[in-house]
A and B are shown apart, each in its own frame.
Chain A
Amino acid sequence: DAGVIQSPRHEVTEMGQEVTLRCKPISGHNSLFWYRQTMMRGLELLIYFNNNVPIDDSGMPEDRFSAKMPNASFSTLKIQPSEPRDSAVYFCASSLGRIRHNEQFFGPGTRLTVL
Protein backbone atom coordinates (compact mmCIF):
# COMPACT_ATOMS: atom_id res chain seq x y z
CA ASP A 1 0.00 0.00 0.00
CA ALA A 2 1.20 3.50 -0.77
CA GLY A 3 2.19 5.55 2.22
CA VAL A 4 2.13 9.32 2.48
CA ILE A 5 3.50 10.79 -0.74
CA GLN A 6 5.37 14.08 -0.80
CA SER A 7 6.79 16.05 -3.69
CA PRO A 8 9.27 17.24 -4.53
CA ARG A 9 11.79 15.26 -2.45
CA HIS A 10 14.37 18.00 -2.82
CA GLU A 11 13.94 21.69 -3.64
CA VAL A 12 16.65 24.29 -4.05
CA THR A 13 15.52 27.85 -4.61
CA GLU A 14 16.71 31.39 -4.25
CA MET A 15 15.64 33.80 -1.59
CA GLY A 16 12.45 35.59 -2.51
CA GLN A 17 11.06 32.82 -4.68
CA GLU A 18 7.75 31.07 -4.02
CA VAL A 19 7.96 27.45 -2.92
CA THR A 20 5.09 24.95 -2.98
CA LEU A 21 5.33 21.60 -1.24
CA ARG A 22 2.77 18.90 -1.95
CA CYS A 23 1.36 16.02 0.02
CA LYS A 24 -0.98 13.12 -0.69
CA PRO A 25 -2.13 11.46 2.54
CA ILE A 26 -2.91 7.78 2.94
CA SER A 27 -6.31 7.00 1.45
CA GLY A 28 -9.01 7.02 4.10
CA HIS A 29 -7.06 9.12 6.58
CA ASN A 30 -8.91 12.27 7.59
CA SER A 31 -6.21 14.08 9.58
CA LEU A 32 -3.18 15.67 7.97
CA PHE A 33 -0.18 17.33 9.58
CA TRP A 34 2.67 19.48 8.28
CA TYR A 35 5.91 19.44 10.29
CA ARG A 36 9.29 21.12 9.88
CA GLN A 37 12.55 19.55 11.09
CA THR A 38 15.80 21.40 11.71
CA MET A 39 18.89 20.61 13.75
CA MET A 40 18.30 23.63 15.95
CA ARG A 41 14.62 23.18 16.74
CA GLY A 42 13.92 19.53 16.03
CA LEU A 43 10.54 18.47 14.64
CA GLU A 44 7.82 21.12 14.97
CA LEU A 45 4.14 20.97 14.07
CA LEU A 46 3.21 23.74 11.63
CA ILE A 47 -0.47 23.04 10.96
CA TYR A 48 -3.02 20.27 11.46
CA PHE A 49 -6.12 19.59 9.33
CA ASN A 50 -9.07 17.38 10.23
CA ASN A 51 -11.61 16.58 7.50
CA ASN A 52 -9.87 19.19 5.31
CA VAL A 53 -10.43 21.96 7.89
CA PRO A 54 -7.46 23.63 9.61
CA ILE A 55 -7.73 22.87 13.32
CA ASP A 56 -4.46 24.28 14.68
CA ASP A 57 -2.19 26.62 12.72
CA SER A 58 -0.43 28.09 15.74
CA GLY A 59 2.87 26.60 14.58
CA MET A 60 2.91 28.44 11.25
CA PRO A 61 5.90 30.77 11.66
CA GLU A 62 4.56 33.86 9.91
CA ASP A 63 2.35 35.14 7.13
CA ARG A 64 4.81 33.97 4.50
CA PHE A 65 3.60 30.43 5.19
CA SER A 66 0.20 29.19 4.08
CA ALA A 67 -1.35 25.72 3.82
CA LYS A 68 -4.42 24.44 2.03
CA MET A 69 -6.28 21.17 1.85
CA PRO A 70 -8.77 21.47 -1.04
CA ASN A 71 -9.82 17.83 -0.77
CA ALA A 72 -9.19 14.69 1.26
CA SER A 73 -6.37 13.51 -0.95
CA PHE A 74 -4.22 16.60 -1.41
CA SER A 75 -2.56 19.35 0.60
CA THR A 76 -0.05 22.08 -0.14
CA LEU A 77 2.31 24.12 1.99
CA LYS A 78 3.40 27.36 0.36
CA ILE A 79 6.16 29.74 1.34
CA GLN A 80 6.12 33.16 -0.33
CA PRO A 81 8.61 34.77 -0.31
CA SER A 82 11.13 32.19 0.84
CA GLU A 83 14.09 33.07 3.07
CA PRO A 84 17.32 31.18 3.88
CA ARG A 85 16.07 30.48 7.42
CA ASP A 86 13.24 28.43 5.91
CA SER A 87 15.77 25.78 4.89
CA ALA A 88 14.67 22.56 6.58
CA VAL A 89 13.09 19.18 5.94
CA TYR A 90 9.31 19.47 5.72
CA PHE A 91 7.25 16.40 6.58
CA CYS A 92 3.64 15.63 5.92
CA ALA A 93 1.89 13.03 8.08
CA SER A 94 -1.61 11.59 8.10
CA SER A 95 -3.74 9.61 10.53
CA LEU A 96 -7.15 7.93 10.66
CA GLY A 97 -8.55 10.44 13.10
CA ARG A 98 -7.69 12.88 15.82
CA ILE A 99 -4.28 12.82 17.44
CA ARG A 100 -5.01 11.11 20.75
CA HIS A 101 -6.02 7.67 19.52
CA ASN A 102 -4.43 7.33 16.12
CA GLU A 103 -0.94 6.71 14.82
CA GLN A 104 0.56 9.34 12.56
CA PHE A 105 2.23 8.04 9.42
CA PHE A 106 4.96 10.28 8.05
CA GLY A 107 5.98 10.82 4.45
CA PRO A 108 9.63 10.81 3.35
CA GLY A 109 9.91 14.59 3.58
CA THR A 110 10.92 17.43 1.29
CA ARG A 111 14.40 18.83 1.85
CA LEU A 112 14.20 22.57 1.13
CA THR A 113 17.28 24.70 0.63
CA VAL A 114 16.85 28.44 0.19
CA LEU A 115 19.99 30.16 -1.05
Chain B
Amino acid sequence: TQLLEQSPQFLSIQEGENLTVYCNSSSVFSSLQWYRQEPGEGPVLLVTVVTGGEVKKLKRLTFQFGDARKDSSLHITAAQPGDTGLYLCAGLITQGGSEKLVFGKGTKLTVNP
Protein backbone atom coordinates (compact mmCIF):
# COMPACT_ATOMS: atom_id res chain seq x y z
CA THR B 1 0.00 0.00 0.00
CA GLN B 2 1.40 3.36 -1.08
CA LEU B 3 1.24 5.99 1.67
CA LEU B 4 1.35 8.83 -0.86
CA GLU B 5 -0.63 8.62 -4.09
CA GLN B 6 0.39 10.86 -6.95
CA SER B 7 -1.78 11.68 -9.94
CA PRO B 8 -1.69 11.63 -12.81
CA GLN B 9 1.01 9.02 -13.25
CA PHE B 10 1.87 10.33 -16.73
CA LEU B 11 1.19 13.72 -18.31
CA SER B 12 2.12 14.88 -21.80
CA ILE B 13 1.32 18.47 -22.75
CA GLN B 14 2.31 21.18 -25.22
CA GLU B 15 4.61 24.04 -24.40
CA GLY B 16 2.68 26.96 -22.94
CA GLU B 17 -0.06 24.91 -21.29
CA ASN B 18 -0.81 24.95 -17.57
CA LEU B 19 -0.95 21.81 -15.45
CA THR B 20 -1.54 20.60 -11.92
CA VAL B 21 -0.29 17.41 -10.32
CA TYR B 22 -1.54 16.03 -7.04
CA CYS B 23 -0.15 14.22 -4.03
CA ASN B 24 -2.72 12.67 -1.68
CA SER B 25 -2.71 10.64 1.50
CA SER B 26 -4.93 9.68 4.40
CA SER B 27 -2.00 10.36 6.74
CA VAL B 28 -0.91 13.66 8.26
CA PHE B 29 2.63 14.80 7.53
CA SER B 30 4.93 17.10 9.51
CA SER B 31 6.05 18.58 6.23
CA LEU B 32 5.97 17.76 2.55
CA GLN B 33 8.60 18.11 -0.12
CA TRP B 34 8.53 18.19 -3.90
CA TYR B 35 11.43 16.92 -6.00
CA ARG B 36 12.20 16.83 -9.72
CA GLN B 37 14.19 13.94 -11.13
CA GLU B 38 15.69 13.83 -14.61
CA PRO B 39 16.71 10.61 -16.39
CA GLY B 40 19.93 9.13 -15.06
CA GLU B 41 20.07 11.50 -12.10
CA GLY B 42 18.94 11.61 -8.51
CA PRO B 43 15.97 13.68 -7.30
CA VAL B 44 16.58 17.37 -6.63
CA LEU B 45 14.61 19.22 -3.96
CA LEU B 46 12.34 21.97 -5.26
CA VAL B 47 10.47 23.06 -2.14
CA THR B 48 9.44 22.15 1.40
CA VAL B 49 6.02 23.14 2.78
CA VAL B 50 5.42 22.92 6.49
CA THR B 51 2.24 24.72 7.51
CA GLY B 52 -1.28 23.60 6.56
CA GLY B 53 -2.59 25.86 3.79
CA GLU B 54 0.89 27.11 2.94
CA VAL B 55 1.51 28.27 -0.61
CA LYS B 56 5.01 28.67 -2.05
CA LYS B 57 5.99 29.96 -5.47
CA LEU B 58 9.13 29.16 -7.40
CA LYS B 59 9.02 31.14 -10.65
CA ARG B 60 6.27 29.42 -12.68
CA LEU B 61 5.74 26.67 -10.11
CA THR B 62 3.19 27.03 -7.29
CA PHE B 63 3.11 24.53 -4.44
CA GLN B 64 0.27 24.21 -1.95
CA PHE B 65 0.03 22.16 1.24
CA GLY B 66 -3.49 21.10 2.19
CA ASP B 67 -5.10 22.62 5.27
CA ALA B 68 -5.08 19.23 7.03
CA ARG B 69 -1.47 18.51 5.94
CA LYS B 70 -2.55 15.33 4.15
CA ASP B 71 -2.23 16.46 0.55
CA SER B 72 -0.40 18.82 -1.75
CA SER B 73 -0.50 20.12 -5.29
CA LEU B 74 2.00 21.47 -7.78
CA HIS B 75 0.79 23.86 -10.45
CA ILE B 76 2.98 24.85 -13.39
CA THR B 77 2.06 27.87 -15.47
CA ALA B 78 3.08 28.11 -19.12
CA ALA B 79 5.04 24.86 -19.10
CA GLN B 80 8.32 24.71 -20.99
CA PRO B 81 10.28 21.73 -22.36
CA GLY B 82 12.80 22.28 -19.57
CA ASP B 83 10.07 21.34 -17.07
CA THR B 84 10.10 17.77 -18.39
CA GLY B 85 10.93 15.25 -15.68
CA LEU B 86 9.61 13.03 -12.91
CA TYR B 87 7.98 15.02 -10.10
CA LEU B 88 8.04 13.30 -6.72
CA CYS B 89 6.33 14.31 -3.51
CA ALA B 90 7.68 13.13 -0.16
CA GLY B 91 6.09 13.39 3.27
CA LEU B 92 7.92 13.52 6.57
CA ILE B 93 6.61 11.02 9.12
CA THR B 94 7.73 9.61 12.44
CA GLN B 95 7.82 5.83 12.42
CA GLY B 96 9.36 3.55 14.99
CA GLY B 97 10.80 6.48 16.88
CA SER B 98 12.69 7.94 13.94
CA GLU B 99 11.75 10.36 11.21
CA LYS B 100 11.76 9.36 7.56
CA LEU B 101 10.67 10.64 4.18
CA VAL B 102 8.13 8.52 2.33
CA PHE B 103 7.88 9.13 -1.39
CA GLY B 104 5.08 8.86 -3.91
CA LYS B 105 5.75 7.03 -7.17
CA GLY B 106 5.82 10.30 -9.08
CA THR B 107 4.23 12.05 -12.04
CA LYS B 108 6.17 11.78 -15.28
CA LEU B 109 5.73 15.07 -17.13
CA THR B 110 6.62 15.57 -20.78
CA VAL B 111 6.38 19.06 -22.26
CA ASN B 112 6.49 19.00 -26.04
CA PRO B 113 7.87 21.98 -27.97
Residues of B within 8 A of A107 (CB): 42
**Given A41-B105, A99-B100, A104-B45, 19 new contacts (CB under 8 A):** A4-B42, A39-B105, A42-B103, A42-B105, A42-B106, A43-B43, A43-B88, A43-B90, A43-B106, A44-B103, A56-B100, A58-B95, A59-B100, A93-B42, A99-B101, A100-B92, A100-B99, A108-B42, A109-B42
Flag A82-115 by CB within 8 Å of B: 1 or 0 each.
0000000001010000111001101111000000
CB-CB under 8 A from B44, the residues of chain A are 106
- Which residues of A have CB within 8 Å of B48? 103
Cβ of A12 within 8 Å of any chain B Cβ, yes or no, is no
Q: How many of chain A's residues have a CB under 8 angstroms from any CB in B?
A: 23
Contacts of B31 in A (CB 8 A): 100
State the 5 A-B residue pairs at the shortest beta-carbon distance, nearest first. A106-B42, A42-B105, A43-B103, A56-B98, A99-B99
Chain A, residues 51-83, CB within 8 Å of chain B (1/0): the string is: 000011011000000000000000000000000
Report whether over half of chain B's contact residues are helix, strand or loop; otherwise say mixed.
strand
Q: Tally the A-B contacts, defined by beta carbons under 8 Å.
A: 55
A34 at interface by CB-CB < 8 Å: no
Whole-angstrom distance between the Cβ of A8 and the nearest chain B Cβ: 14
Of all chain A residues, the one with the shortest Cβ separation from B35 is A106
CB neighbours of A15 from chain B (8 A): none
Q: Are A100 and B30 in contact (CB under 8 A)?
A: yes
| B113 contacts A by Cβ under 8 Å | no
Q: How far is the CA of A55 from the CA of B98 in the complex (A)?
A: 8
Tell me whether A48 and B40 are in contact in the complex, defined as CB-CB below 8 angstroms, given that A42-B105, A100-B31, A100-B92 are known contacts: no
A45 within 8 A of B: yes
